[in-house]
């Protein structure tokens, strides 16, 4: 009777081992499939990002060329616009600097 139980137990262990190997193979196959899918999606995303970056660079180059052409054709207007923008920026910076006065800390006084 003990040998019968041992044989049944060994059969059961062999069956479980076969199932574990089968599941291991299934998981490996699914993992490879998922990795291939992720790799393909990443490749597509990189290709699309590259195309968009190339288009953006081309657009920026065209716009810069257009601005440079206009600046060459109208140097006085360009210098006046840049000077005005600089003055407005300076005034805004000054006002922001005056609006925020730092609180004095008595530890850092030199006198």
- Read off the pLDDT of residues 67-106 as tens digits, 9 standing for 90 and up: 899 989 999 999 999 999 999 999 999 998 887 766 666 6
The fraction of the chain above a pLDDT of 70, given in percent, is 86
Give dist(CA 78, CA 83) in Å, integer: 9
Residues in the chain: 111
**pLDDT given at position 33:** 93
**What angle do helix axes 2-73 and 75-99 make, rounded to 10 degrees?**
120
Residue 110 scores a pLDDT above 90: no
**pLDDT given at position 99:** 78
Q: How far is CA 72 from the centre of its chain?
A: 38
Q: What pLDDT band is residue 3 in, cutting at 50, 70 and 90?
A: low
**Residue partners of 70: CB distance under 8 A and separation at least 6:** 78
The helix (run of H) or strand (run of E) holding residue 107 is none
Backbone angles phi, psi at 78, to 5 degrees: -65, -50
If you average pLDDT over residues 17-38, what whole number do you get? 92
Q: What pLDDT band is residue 9 in, cutting at 50, 70 and 90?
A: confident
Q: What pLDDT band is residue 1 in, cutting at 50, 70 and 90?
A: low
If you average pLDDT over residues 35-55, what whole number do you get? 94
Give dist(CA 59, CA 76) in Å, integer: 26
């Amino acid at each position: 009777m003990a040998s019968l139980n041992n044989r049944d137990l060994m059969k059961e262990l062999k069956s479980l081992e076969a199932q574990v190997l089968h599941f291991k193979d299934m998981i490996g196959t699914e993992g490879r499939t998922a990795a291939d899918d992720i790799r393909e999606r990443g490749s597509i995303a990189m290709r699309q990002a590259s195309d968009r970056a190339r288009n953006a660079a081309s657009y920026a180059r065209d716009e810069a060329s257009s601005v440079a052409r206009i600046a060459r054709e109208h140097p006085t207007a360009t210098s006046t616009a840049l000077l005005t923008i600089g003055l407005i920026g300076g005034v805004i910076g000054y006002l922001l600097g005056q609006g925020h006065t730092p609180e004095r800390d008595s530890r850092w006084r030199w006198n």
